[in-house]
Amino acid sequence: MINRRTFSIGLGSSLLAACTDGTVPSSAPASRMRPVPNAGWDAWVANFKGRAASQGISQTTIDRAFAGAGYLPDVIERDRNQVEFKRSLEDYLAIAASDERISTGQQMLQRYGPVLSQIESQYGVDKEVVVAVWGLESRYGARRGDVPVVSALSTLAYDGRRGQFFESQLVAAMKILQNGDTTPANMTGSWAGAMGHTQFIPTSYLAYAVDFTGDGRRDIWSEDPTDSLASTAAYLSRAGWVRGQPWGGEAGTVSGTPVAVLQPQTPGPRIAVFRNFQVIKRYNNSDSYAIGVGHLSDRIAGGAPFKASFGPDATGLSLKDRKELQRRLTSAGYDTQGADGVIGKNTEAAISAYQRANGLSVTGDPSVALLRQLGG
């Protein structure tokens, strides 16, 4: 089974789309990407067409797939400048299980309740977990990405940094088109080729996507998320999901014998995890991601926040303090683009602007003193 973490670090943190401090995930819309002439890419594509044909791709499919494709330099820039986000668990959960993400997840659970119950019955994966993956991967379908997948994958394969991998994904994309599940124009996704509501890469799609609606197509691109949600459940089921077992939870609040107890941040909650925690990590090999999915699923189901406090950060500010700092900055005319308590570029820029305007040393750093000054 391909671990999606090995595909692109951006996918693992696509939940960061909800960070009101401006973090943009790989699955965010990227409509500014436009193809540009590139003779090297043209030559690579000409050679690839022969290799694709040798793997059973028809000439008709190849011609249709590349009819509107082109070299995307912005894709290479994204690939070269990927940054591994090193958020604390507290910050990660502030994004993953924000009030907005919980409430939207509950709305989606109600809206698609009947089909989610059918999916749960067939695959044994809790419907709240499926919805939580959806929420983290594409913000419940709001950020599926609009980059042409054939252009993105052929650009990355031609570039060569991970050429063999991306060529395998491109061949898989050709097979999807040949199967008639979608059209080249409709096959859009992230800059790195992940597609649909729950961000499947082409090879994972071929292996695990299902046609749950029964219309003859495994349509993860549709506004209707049914096939995407069912495909996610099928993926987790095939990865070893244990029906009826929790993913985990705060130690002392879940019954059963966990496989491990984690404490990713001190101070902070101790997390008892079961086998299903490891299954979620097959979707993305990150403890924070799996905790985020699990905890969001619990909150969507009506569960409580973690009881243990994370305590103040290195600046002496608690999450509540950081949210208040953002609110006060915005009220003073220095917009932080939201108040989630996660300090990022927008908040740092707002702090710098405030410091500059008030004759202070410009550091962009939050502090207890700054919070007090803004409260005056």
For the whole model, what pTM was predicted?
0.90
Phi and psi of 146, rounded to 5°? -130, 25
pLDDT (tens digit, 0 to 9) for every residue of the chain, 376 residues total?
444 443 333 334 344 433 334 333 334 344 468 999 999 999 999 999 999 999 999 999 999 999 999 999 999 999 988 765 678 999 999 999 999 999 999 999 999 999 999 999 999 999 999 999 999 999 999 999 999 999 999 999 999 889 999 999 999 999 999 999 999 999 999 999 999 999 999 999 999 999 999 999 999 999 999 999 999 999 999 999 999 999 999 999 999 999 999 999 999 999 999 999 999 999 999 999 999 999 999 999 999 999 999 999 999 999 999 999 999 999 999 999 999 999 999 999 999 999 999 999 999 999 999 999 998 5
pLDDT tens digits, 292-342: 999 999 999 999 999 999 999 999 999 999 999 999 999 999 999 999 999
> Do residues 78 and 192 make contact, with C-beta atoms less than 8 angstroms apart?
yes
| Distant-in-sequence contacts of 217-221, Cβ < 8 A, 24+ apart | 217/180, 217/181, 217/182, 218/181, 219/181, 219/182, 220/195, 220/196, 221/144, 221/182, 221/186, 221/187, 221/188, 221/195, 221/196
- Crossing angle, helix 226-238 and helix 127-138, to 10 degrees? 110
CB atoms within 10 A of CB 249: 23
